[in-house]
Structure 1
C-alpha cells in the first residue's frame, strides 16, 4: 500500500469522522443556552427585534435565549465577536443593514468580512423610510417634489440623523436616481432633525415610519412616498418611491439573524424554521407593524441575496459620492 494511498485514506477517514460529529451535534441542538448578540445599546431597533424574537425561540427550542448588548464601532464589534465564535449555533448575530452593508465601507480594516465570516439564517423585518416634507413646501406628490427640485436646483434641503447613516444614504441614492439636486443637512440624531423639520428649518427628510406617523396623521408633515418594496400597511394611500416615478428605487434598513461561517446546515435550517414561525405569529405581526417594521417572508437564500445587493449598492454610492461619516 503506497504512502500516498495511506495519506488519502487518513484524510477521508478524518473528513467522515468530522461530518459524523457535526451531524451528531446538529441532532442534539440545542443542548445549552443560546446567545443573541446585539451590536447596539438596549432600546434601539436591533435590540427591540432581538427581544421580540428571543422568547419565541426559547419556547420553540426548549432552551434559554439570552440577548447580549455589545455596542461599539457602529455595531461592528458585535459582528467581529460573532465571526470569531465557534460555529455551533450557540452564538448568533442579530444583524442590521448598517452593520452588514454600510459600516464596513467606512473602515479600512473591519473586524469581519460580511460574506466570508457568516452564514445567513433569516431576515426578520425590514424598516422602510417615508419621504416627508414640511407642509409649507408647495408640493403634494413626489412628482411635485421632483419638479420643484429640478426647477430650483440646490434650493430644497433634507435632514438626516448624520452623515453616512441609512437615512442620509437613502437621500443620496434618491438624488442620483431621480436626477435632482437637494442638499443634505446632517444632525446629531433623529430627534433634532425631526424638530427642525416640524419647525420648518429644513424642508424634507427620509424618516422612520414610527417617528413621523403621528405627525403625518395630524397634518404637521406630508408623506410623499415610502422607500420600501411595497406600500406600508399603516400608510396605505402613500405610494412607494418606485410607484411614484423613480423606477427601481428601494432604500430600507432591516434586521435579521446570522451565524458564524461553518455552522451546520441542519442548525441553520432549524433556526430559520423557528424564526419564521415566530415572525408569522399574530403577536409579533402586530407588534412589528406598530413599531413601523415590515415582517419578512424571505427565505435564507433571499436574505443572503439581499445582503449582497445592499452591500454592493451602498458601497458604490459611498465611493461615487465620496461620503465620509461624522
Structure 2
C-alpha cells in the first residue's frame, strides 16, 4: 500500500493535457479513423471504471476517433491487463491500470496469474489519486468503527473487496491486523457488486475508493464511518481519519494508464519529459 501524499478526498483528474498529448503521440496517422479501446479490468460502476470512462471521454474528441470502454473483469484486473498486453503496440488499445493490479496482485504468494501486469505493460502516466472510505449499510447497526471492531471480537465479521489482492482486500486485512481482530474476506469482480452486498446485509463493511460510494453515502444508503488516509475530506468533513481510531492505518490509491510493451520509445520518453515539465 502506498503512503498517502498529495491526497484528495475523491478522484481528481491530473495531467489531462499531458495524458492526451501522450496518447496522441501514440497514434499513427492511419489510426485516427479507428476505434480506440480503453480497457477496465473491473465491473462497471466502480472507481476504476469511472476513471476509464473519463479517459475515453477525453481522448475521443481530441484524437478524432471513437473511444470505447470495455470491461474485462477477473483476477483483480489481470484479465483486462492481459487483453491489452496481447494487443498491437500502436496506441489504439490502452489499459486503466490501478494500483492493486499493477503493484499488489503480482506480489501475492501463490498467485496463479496469466502474466505479470508490471512486466507485460508499459506505463504512459498517472491520471488520478483516490482517498478511501470505511462504509457500512446505512440502515445497519454500526454507528462507528469501534462498533465494527467490537462485533468482530464476538462473532464473524465479513468485509468485501473488488477481488483477491485488491487495495480493498488489503485494506481490510490491514485493519484486522492493526486492530488485533479476525475478519472474513469475500472477493467480488469489482467494487460495485461488493457494495450491493453491503446494502443487502450479506457483508458488514468495505474500505474502498470514495468514488465508489460517494453517491450512496450522500443518499443515506451507506454510512461513512471514517476516511482511510490521514487527511480530512471536504466532501465528508465529519468523517474522522481511520488512523485516529486504529493507529497505523493509512491508505490511499492511484490510477494510471498503460499500453502494450513495444510502443515506440519516443512516445514514452516524450511522456516522461512532459510529466517532468509539469509536476502538477
If the length of structure 2 is used for normalisation, what is the TM-score?
A: 0.64
Note the C-alpha offset of 1:65: 4.6
1:29 and 1:267 in contact (8 A); partners too: no
Note the C-alpha offset of 1:171: 0.9
Note the C-alpha offset of 1:257: 0.5
> Which residue is equivalent to 1:247?
248
2:134 and 2:227 in contact (8 A); partners too: yes
Distance change (3 Å), C-alpha of 1:102 and 1:28: closer
Note the C-alpha offset of 1:196: 1.0
Q: Deviations over 1:80-123 (max 9, x none)?
A: 23223343433322223443345544875523223322221222
After TM superposition, list the pairs within 5 Å mapping 1:78-227 onto structure 2: 78-104=80-106, 105=108, 108-133=111-136, 136-137=141-142, 140=144, 142=145, 144-145=146-147, 148=150, 153-155=153-155, 157-161=157-161, 164=164, 165-176=166-177, 178-184=178-184, 186=186, 189-190=193-194, 191-196=196-201, 203-209=204-210, 212-213=213-214, 216-217=217-218, 222-227=223-228
2:96 and 2:257 in contact (8 A); partners too: yes
Distance change (3 Å), C-alpha of 1:43 and 1:131: closer
Q: Deviations over 1:174-212 (max 9, x none)?
A: 111x23204226376321222217xxxx65432553565
- SS of the residue aligned with 2:170? helix
The whole-number CA distance in structure 1 between the counterparts of 2:72 and 2:149 is 42
Larger radius of gyration: 1
The whole-number CA distance in structure 1 between the counterparts of 2:208 and 2:126 is 21
> Which residue is equivalent to 1:266?
266
> Which residue is equivalent to 1:257?
257
Q: Where do 5+ consecutive residues of structure 2 fail to align?
A: 1-23
Note the C-alpha offset of 1:131: 1.6
Query: In angstroms, what is the RMSD of aligned CA positions?
Result: 4.1
Q: Where do 5+ consecutive residues of structure 1 fail to align?
A: 1-25, 276-296, 300-326
The alignment covers a number of residue pairs equal to 242
**Alignment equivalent of 1:77, drawn from 48, 60, 79:** 79
